[in-house]
Amino acid sequence: MTKTLSVDQLRRRLAKAKCEKYDLLKKRRLEIKQFDPEIITVPDRLRALNQSKVDELAESMDAIGQQQPITVWLDDPDDAAQTLYLVAGAHRLAAAIKLGWDEINVILTEDMTEIDRQLWEIDENLMRAELSPTERGEHITRRAEIWNAIPEVGGATCATHDASGRKKTPQQERGFAAETAAATGLSKATINRDLARTEGIIQELRDQIKGTHLDKGTYLDSIKGMELDAQREQVMADLEAPAKPKIPGDIRAIMKGTHLDRRAYRDSLKGMEPAEQRARVIRDLEGAQKPKLTVVIDTGDDDPRFETLKRDWSAAPAETRRRFKAWIQDK
Q: What's phi and psi for 254, nearest 5 deg?
A: -65, -40
What residue spans define the domains of the chain? 7-155+177-240, 249-287, 292-331
Domain 7-155+177-240 has CATH 3.90.1530.10: yes
Full-prediction pTM beyond 0.75?
A: no
Instruction: Render pLDDT for 229-268 as a digit per residue (tens, 0 to 9).
Output: 999 999 999 998 876 667 887 888 888 888 888 878 887 8
Please state the φ and ψ torsions of residue 265, each to the nearest 5 degrees: -70, -40
- Cα–Cα distance, 157 to 73 (Å, whole number): 30
Range of 119-123, 149-153, 161-165 with top mean pLDDT? 119-123
Please report how many Cα atoms fall inside a 13 Å half-sphere around the Cα of residue 273, on the Cβ side: 2
Long-range contacts of 24-31 (CB under 8 A, 24+ apart): 24/116, 24/119, 24/120, 24/123, 24/183, 27/111, 28/109, 28/111, 28/112, 28/116, 29/109, 29/110, 29/111, 30/107, 30/108, 30/109, 31/107, 31/108, 31/109
Give the pLDDT score at 331: 56
Confidence of residue 193 (pLDDT cuts 50, 70, 90): very high
Parallel, antiparallel or unpaired: strands 104-109 and 30-35: antiparallel
pLDDT at 302: 62
Query: What radius of gyration, in Å, describes the C-alpha atoms of the chain?
Result: 30
